[in-house]
Structure 1
Amino acid sequence: MTAVIQLAVQALAPNLQRQMWQGDQVAGPLAQTISSGHPALDRALPGQGWPIGSLTELLVEHDGVGEMRLLVYALRQLTVEAERHVVMIAPPYHPHTTALKAWGIAVERVFWVRAAEAQAFWAAEQALKQGGIGAVLMWASNARPEALRRLQVAAQDSRSLAFLIRPANVAVHSSAAPLRMICSPILPNGAQAMKRRLWLHKVGLAIDIIKRRGPPLAEPLRMELPVQEAMLPARTARPRRHERKANHVVDRCDIATLIAGGREAASVREREHEPIESA
């Protein structure tokens, strides 16, 4: 049977061959892709990179665990090399201009759209229809199946990367997104003996691809994604009274809390000087 299928595929036109794949193989490129900047992740992604014209879901345990650091390379390529725009829709935190600049992203090509969750999907669909948009990033905690289907259709008709960032607990629900992955923070080896600032420079993500055109991963990928100094609170800043102090051991929830706190503090300081365009 396998031989028959292979012969049938070979008889198809090249454009149709690219749209077929066997369940035990990772699909080849259906369209153009952009490298993630991480060779191990590229090898696990169909087409060897983030797919253009397709919806990708990043499912995170907590906002701020590293989902933006995971996308840095692609966003830098789009805004600097390709001179295209990036649209962030309903992010949970104020976009951190200092960190974006430290990553080499052209902040003048980044747009921040404030939108209620009920309006965010509409905004994402409209953004995907615009020329010159390299990537659309949208955050949502809830999503109806029909909204996901519309977003996937809008992504298919575009020449953009489309990312939907949602809580990890929605992984049990079906989705129209062809590519879904769970991103979980991991601490570096020996973190218990390190000072907090040191291990933040060695923190990473475990990435489990739960849906792709191909077989599941044998085990999650482990990637080091260090937090840059620009994202951390100033060394002289005092911790807020309601925050739990931790000198050495910080659990996974605290990764997002600390990073988010740094972004919020820095954003307040620079908001009057270098704001990101918003709508």
Structure 2
Amino acid sequence: MAAALQLAATLPPRLQSRIWQGNQVAATGARAVSSGHAALDALLPGAGWPAGSLTELLVELGGVGEMRLVAPVLRALTAQARRHVLLVAPPWRPYACALQAWGIALEHIVWIRASEDEAPWAAEQALKQDGIGAVLLWQPKARADALRRLQVAAQDSQALAFLMRPPAARSQSSPAPLRMVCTPVPPPEADTRLNRREWMQHTGVCVDIFKRRGPPPAQPLVVTLPLQESVLPQPGAAPFMPWPGVNHAVDRRHLAVVAAGSRQAAVSVDGVV
């Protein structure tokens, strides 16, 4: 071991940056993008979400906070870097009002509806395209060969690659270098004086990183992820769900339709957009 460490010390800096010891977190690299959460960045190898690598977020149900967790980096990619973000086979319809409230540029969001068998192929092809900032794929059951192809495609890409899987996948092997379980966390001490809307500002998600390039963290990290007031239904507001029939795979125009309709509903209640 001592001889190996001495040999590593003689390597050029560009090669030393690619070497890490098992008891140390991998050093900061140029292909990491800040998560937007300082405490989380401190635990991630490279101090951010790794570009050119597959990241697994294991969630029991969609909407527990995984989108709010990645919202800061999606905002940076779409609104600042002007790169496209692809949502492949999410288990829900993208909520344009929430995306806008997070500062994400809707014109750079692409929703791809695909079957469970087609979704990995769609994500793999997306990672091979230029101008892609991130690809988010939801897969309840992922085959080992599909995971390997995704990791290879991610390695050849400059984009972020997120794979959403159920917590049961934790016991399964995966080529993804970064894996974590995300579970919802209510406020530590619920104050009965708070109404429901105030209480929801203190919600968060527990991030348990069980695989990374380095030893696992000593304990899971709790990240507070409040729900913005603008994405919560206004009291007394009538439901507004414009959703014309569609028959094609990529649905981007409906994000703007939903956003426009929701703004109109808000005007009728509050008189402001």
1:191 is paired with a residue of what secondary structure? Answer: coil
Is it true that 1:144 corresponds to 2:143 in the alignment? Answer: yes
- Find the aligned partners of 1:41 and 1:196 in 2 and give their Cα distance: 27
- Find the aligned partners of 2:179 and 2:161 in 1 and give their Cα distance: 12
C-alpha change, 1:271 and 1:53, in structure 2 (3 Å) is farther
Is it true that 1:275 corresponds to 2:254 in the alignment? Answer: yes
Is it true that 1:195 corresponds to 2:195 in the alignment? Answer: yes
- Find the aligned partners of 2:106 and 2:228 in 1 and give their Cα distance: 17
Give TM-score, length-normalised by structure 2. 0.86
What residue in structure 2 maps to residue 248 of structure 1? none
What residue in structure 1 maps to residue 122 of structure 2? 123
Amino acid at match of 1:39: A
What residue in structure 2 maps to residue 256 of structure 1? none
Shift of 1:84: 0.5
Mapping for residues 191-270 of structure 1, pairs under 5 Å: 191=190, 193=192, 194-236=194-236, 268-269=241-242
1:9 is paired with a residue of what secondary structure? Answer: helix
- Find the aligned partners of 2:130 and 2:91 in 1 and give their Cα distance: 26
- Find the aligned partners of 1:191 and 1:142 in 2 and give their Cα distance: 36
Is it true that 1:17 corresponds to 2:16 in the alignment? Answer: yes
What residue in structure 2 maps to residue 45 of structure 1? 44
1:44 is paired with a residue of what secondary structure? Answer: coil
- Find the aligned partners of 1:225 and 1:270 in 2 and give their Cα distance: 29
Residues 18-47 of structure 1 deviation map (CA, whole Å, 9 limit, x = unaligned)? 221111100113541110011110010000
2:74 is paired with a residue of what secondary structure? Answer: helix
Does the CA-based 8 Å contact 1:31-1:53 persist in structure 2? no
- Find the aligned partners of 1:10 and 1:50 in 2 and give their Cα distance: 27
Mapping for residues 28-107 of structure 1, pairs under 5 Å: 28-107=27-106
Does the CA-based 8 Å contact 1:31-1:51 persist in structure 2? no
What residue in structure 2 maps to residue 261 of structure 1? none
C-alpha change, 1:151 and 1:108, in structure 2 (3 Å) is same
Amino acid at match of 2:208: D
- Find the aligned partners of 1:271 and 1:68 in 2 and give their Cα distance: 25
- Find the aligned partners of 2:242 and 2:27 in 1 and give their Cα distance: 46
- For structure 1, the residue ranges without an aligned partner over 5 or more in a row are 239-264
Does the CA-based 8 Å contact 2:101-2:231 persist in structure 1? no
The count of corresponding residues between Structure 1 and Structure 2 is 249
Greater than 3 Å deviation, 4+ residue runs: 269-272
Residues 183-215 of structure 1 deviation map (CA, whole Å, 9 limit, x = unaligned)? 011111222624322221110011010100000
Shift of 1:169: 1.6
Indicate the RMSD between aligned Cα atoms, in angstroms.
2.0
Shift of 1:130: 0.6
- Find the aligned partners of 1:153 and 1:138 in 2 and give their Cα distance: 15
Shift of 1:7: 1.2
Residues 130-152 of structure 1 deviation map (CA, whole Å, 9 limit, x = unaligned)? 10000000111000111100000
Identity %: 55
Shift of 1:80: 1.3
